Amino acid sequence: MSTASERVYVARLVNTPVFDPIGDQVGRVRDVVILMRRGATATATGLVVEVPGRRRVFMPLTRVTSIAPGQVICNGVINLRRFQARTSEALAVAELFERSVKLKDDKSTAYIEDIAIEQDRTKQWVLTKLYVRKAERRKGVLGFSRRGEALVVDVAQVTGLAQRDKNQGAALIIQQFEGHKPADLAAALMEMAPSRSAEIAAALDDERLADVLEELPEADQIVLLNSLRSDRAADVLEAMEPDDAADLLGDLPPVKAAELLDLMEPEDAKQVRQLLNYADDSAGGLMTTEPVIVGPEATVAQCLAAVRRQELAPALASMVFVVRPPLETPTGRFIGLVHIQRLLREPPHESVGNFVDTAIEPLGPDDDLAYVARHMAAYDILALPVVDSDHYLRGAISIDDVLDHLLPSDWREHLEDESEPVGDGNSAAEVSRG
């Protein structure tokens, strides 16, 4: 393997494009896999590479032929199975950055900000240097002060590298995902040890953690929620979409679910309790109680402003639901829905009541999943209203809610066990890990 320099720093390697020998981009480096065994030198065994489709896969370093500024060149095959760290493995950025170590020379505490790897005589990549910063951790903050001295030390000059840090910060890993979609951070959390995932979850704000939880499989949702204090867990549930919060609470033991509901704000808890009264696979159990609701006198301009809210799911932003006051579920009497595409063609000052689509039949709360799916497919629509027997709007079902229940429960984790050739494909045998 050729490198532009003998020493490679992990922080500089992250986000570097990965190319095959003919120059086609394969993906981007997201992390480095470190094998850590008691009494043995820590070694880098591979890269976590994000390939098209936002899949994060393992690429053995034996597949890498060159590491240079701005590019990594590889050959052979890529196993497209989703990466998940094994017991003896750690992710450099996600799990080792911000870990505390002791410096042997003065017994002071320092925090890892970067890791350097180099090839030894056997062409194995080993950890050789750490870029650390001496600092006193600020009390009550998951992070570290940047006022301390920064220095590069040999791995042999520190102790505690392989030990879990109960107060390890999460600022660097959160910063790495700033601007990314919640699903990207959720995928990264699934690769980490549960204890590290819990540390990062604790450092996220309520809104961000709620978004991430909604992208995780049920089992991972429960693990992360149980890692939080009960009052914090209730705050996060309040920040979630009511239907997602109801799904999660429905998977918890009844006593725990009741405790969290009691800790939630009364209005939020009321919405979730309403949803818990319906079967999981019914229209009532699938719906959200917070679609975009307007009165018939609302203007086109007001409706377009309402669907611009950043937190609104794209499917729910595709239409507004028109009801008679009061303008909320479940007390507004349903008139009809209006497609945003239609409103884009109408004068801003016109009343939305003039453009109601009366051909769309609403769903009932007890309609089953199969009927909901057929109904949605028949209308070729992204969201449908749910009304009760008195025609009051109870909520709305979006296409993502339907797909979440139609797909296997582990669909976020499931990838076919397949490999894709890279470059000339001469190295066909997959290198084993561990």
From CA 333, how far away is CA 347, in angstroms rounded? 26
Q: List the structure tokens of 374.
A: 């057929």
- Burial profile 329-341: b = 16 or more Cβ within 10 angstroms, e = fewer: bbebebbbbbbbe
What are 72-116's pLDDT values in tens digits?
999 977 788 888 888 889 999 999 999 999 999 888 999 999 999
Q: What is the CATH number of domain 2-86?
A: 2.30.30.240
- Which of 68, 71, 115 has the alpha carbon at shortest distance from 94? 115
Dihedral sign for Cα 93, 96, 101, 105, please. Answer: negative
Report, as an integer, the average pLDDT of 384-396. Answer: 96
Tell me the CATH number of domain 293-406, given options 3.30.70.660, 3.40.50.2020, 1.50.10.20, 3.10.580.10. Answer: 3.10.580.10
Is 88 exposed, middle or buried (CB count within 10 Å of its CB: 0-12, 13-18, 19+)? middle
Q: Is 424 a residue whose pLDDT tops 60? A: no
Higher local confidence (pLDDT), 278 or 37: 278
Peptide bond into 254 cis (omega under 30): no
From CA 227, how far away is CA 198, in angstroms rounded? 6
Looking at residue 293, what is its pLDDT? Answer: 97
Looking at residue 324, what is its pLDDT? Answer: 96
Looking at residue 194, what is its pLDDT? Answer: 86
Is the overall model pTM greater than 0.85, yes or no? no
What are 104-152's pLDDT values in tens digits?
988 899 999 999 999 999 989 999 999 999 866 544 444 545 567 899 9
Report, as an integer, the average pLDDT of 216-245. Answer: 94
Higher local confidence (pLDDT), 2 or 427: 2
Looking at residue 77, what is its pLDDT? Answer: 76
Q: List the structure tokens of 281.
A: 């696979």
Range in 112-121, 286-295, 419-428 with the lowest mean pLDDT: 419-428
* Beta strand pairing call for 43-51 and 25-35: antiparallel
Q: Is 415 a residue whose pLDDT tops 80? A: no
pLDDT band with cut points at 50, 70 and 90 for residue 410: low
Report, as an integer, the average pLDDT of 181-201. Answer: 88
Q: Give percent of the chain with pLDDT exceeding 90.
A: 66
Looking at residue 139, what is its pLDDT? Answer: 45
Q: Is 430 a residue whose pLDDT tops 50? A: no
What is the pLDDT of the chain when averaged over all its residues?
A: 88
Looking at residue 55, what is its pLDDT? Answer: 84
> In this structure, are residues 212 and 185 in contact, taking their beta carbons and an 8 Å threshold?
yes
Looking at residue 138, what is its pLDDT? Answer: 47
Report, as an integer, the average pLDDT of 1-27. Answer: 84
Looking at residue 40, what is its pLDDT? Answer: 82
Report, as an integer, the average pLDDT of 406-411. Answer: 70
Report, as an integer, the average pLDDT of 351-368. Answer: 95
Give the helix ranges, DSSP H, for 122-205.
171-176, 182-191, 194-203
178-277 homologous superfamily: MgtE N-terminal domain-like (1.25.60.10)
H or E element, residue 339: strand 333-339
Q: Where are the domains of the chain?
A: 2-86, 93-159, 178-277, 293-406
Q: Is 177 a residue whose pLDDT tops 90? A: no
Own/partner pairs, 44-48, CB within 8 angstroms, 24+ separation:
44/92, 44/117, 44/125, 44/126, 44/127, 45/89, 45/125, 45/433, 46/433, 47/13, 47/18, 47/72, 48/83, 48/91, 48/191
Peptide bond into 326 cis (omega under 30): yes
